[in-house]
C-alpha cells in the first residue's frame, strides 16, 4: 500500500515539476473564461443571426431573412449605420489631433508635468461613465453652461443643443473628443521615444519648428498614430453608453442620436429580436474587420518603421 502510494506521489511530482503543465494550470482560468464568455457567445450569435429568437422560446431557423430585412426592408438600419459612420469620421480625427496637441505640450518637462498629465487623463477615466453623460446632458441643455457662456459674450441663446436634431450629434462628437486621455498618453510615450539627436541635427541645419514637426515628429510617430487610429475607429463604432444616457435610450431627437450600437440594443433587448440583433452585430464585425484590413493594407505607404531601414 505504501509502495503504491509512493509511486503515485512520485508520478504526481513528475507532472507538477513539468514547466509545461504548470503553465497550462496557470492559463486554465483564462482559457475557460475565453471559451465560456467569448468563443461560445460568438458562435452562438452567428447561429442566432439565421434564426427568429425572442429569448422566451426556442430559436427558429429562418435562413437569411434577418439579413434581407436588415439590408432591404429596414430604413432605420441604414440611418443608424450612416450617422455612426459620420460620428466616427468626424470624432476620431478630431480626438487624435487634440490628443497629439496636448501630448506635445505635456512632453515638455516642468515641475507640474505629472499633475498636468493626471488632470488631462481624468476625462478618459470618466468620459464613458453614466455620471459624465448626465453632466454632458445638463451642460448642453437650454439652461446649461454652454448657453450661459454664450450670454457672457453677448450672444443670446436658449438652444437645447441635445434636443435639437441639427446639433445633437455635434454634442456627442464633442464628448468623444473630450475623451482624449488614453490616446494622449500613448502619443506622449511615442514622443519620448524619438531620439533627441534628430532635433539637434535639424537645429544645426536651421530647420524651423513646423519643418521639424512634419519632417521628424510625424514620421517617427506614424506607428503610434496608426495604432491609435485603428483602436479609436473600433471604439467609435462601438459607442453606446453616451448616446444611451443622453437620448434616454431612444436615439431622440428624431433618431439623430440613434447610433448603430444603440439600435442593435433596441432590437435585441428592447423588442427581444435576438436573431435580428445578432445579424446586425455580425454586419458590424465585418465592417470593422474590413476597415482594419484596409488600414493595415495602406499602412506601408504612410507608416514609417525605423527598423525596416536598418
Max mean pLDDT range (23-32, 201-210, 275-284): 275-284
Better pLDDT: 108 or 275: 275
Per the DSSP assignment, residues forming a β-bridge with 60 are: 52
- Quick one: average pLDDT of 21-40? 90
Residue 83, pLDDT > 60, answer yes
DSSP string, 92-128: HHHHHHHHHHHHHHHTS--TTHHHHHHHHHHHHHHTT
Residue 187 contacts residue 224 (beta carbons within 8 Å)? yes
Contact in structure between 171 and 136 (CB atoms under 8 Å) = yes
Spell out the domain ranges in the chain.
Answer: 71-298
The grid coordinates of residue 18 equal: 513539468
* % of the chain with per-residue pLDDT over 70: 92
Question: Which fold, 71-298?
Answer: MetI-like fold (1.10.3720)
Point out the least confidently predicted range of 156-160, 189-193, 241-245. Answer: 156-160
Report pLDDT for 124.
63
User: What are 292-304's pLDDT values in tens digits?
Assistant: 999 999 988 888 8
Tell me the pTM. Answer: 0.85
pLDDT tens column, 93-140: 999 999 999 888 888 777 777 777 777 766 666 655 777 888 888 888
Amino acid at each position: 500500500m505504501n509502495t503504491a502510494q509512493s509511486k503515485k506521489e512520485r508520478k504526481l511530482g513528475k507532472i507538477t515539476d513539468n514547466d509545461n503543465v504548470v503553465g497550462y494550470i496557470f492559463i486554465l482560468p483564462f482559457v475557460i473564461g475565453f471559451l465560456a464568455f467569448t468563443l461560445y457567445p460568438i458562435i452562438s450569435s452567428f447561429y442566432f443571426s439565421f434564426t427568429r429568437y425572442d429569448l422566451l422560446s426556442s430559436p427558429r431557423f429562418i435562413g437569411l431573412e434577418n439579413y434581407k430585412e436588415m439590408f432591404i426592408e429596414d430604413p432605420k438600419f441604414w440611418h443608424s449605420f450612416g450617422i455612426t459612420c459620420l460620428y466616427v469620421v468626424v470624432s476620431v480625427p478630431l480626438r487624435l489631433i487634440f490628443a497629439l496637441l496636448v501630448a506635445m505640450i505635456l512632453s515638455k518637462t516642468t515641475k507640474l508635468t505629472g499633475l498636468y498629465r493626471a488632470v488631462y487623463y481624468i476625462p478618459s477615466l470618466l468620459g464613458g461613465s453614466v455620471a459624465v453623460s448626465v453632466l454632458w446632458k445638463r451642460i448642453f441643455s437650454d439652461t446649461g453652461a454652454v448657453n450661459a457662456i454664450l450670454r457672457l459674450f453677448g450672444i443670446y441663446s436658449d438652444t437645447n443643443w441635445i434636443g435639437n436634431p441639427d446639433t445633437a450629434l455635434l454634442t456627442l462628437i464633442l464628448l468623444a473628443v473630450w475623451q482624449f486621455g488614453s490616446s494622449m498618453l500613448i502619443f506622449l510615450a511615442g514622443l519620448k521615444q524619438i531620439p533627441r539627436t534628430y532635433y539637434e541635427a535639424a537645429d544645426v541645419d536651421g530647420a524651423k519648428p513646423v519643418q521639424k514637426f512634419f519632417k521628424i515628429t510625424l514620421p517617427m510617430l506614424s506607428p503610434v498614430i496608426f495604432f491609435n487610429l485603428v483602436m479609436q475607429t473600433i471604439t467609435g463604432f462601438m459607442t453606446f453608453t453616451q448616446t444611451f444616457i443622453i437620448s434616454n435610450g431612444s436615439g431622440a431627437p428624431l433618431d439623430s442620436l440613434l447610433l448603430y450600437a444603440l439600435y442593435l440594443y433596441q432590437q435585441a433587448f428592447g423588442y427581444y429580436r435576438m436573431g435580428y440583433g445578432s445579424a446586425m452585430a455580425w454586419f458590424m464585425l465585418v465592417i470593422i474587420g474590413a476597415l482594419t484590413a484596409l488600414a493595415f493594407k495602406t499602412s506601408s505607404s504612410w507608416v514609417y518603421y525605423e527598423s525596416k531601414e536598418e
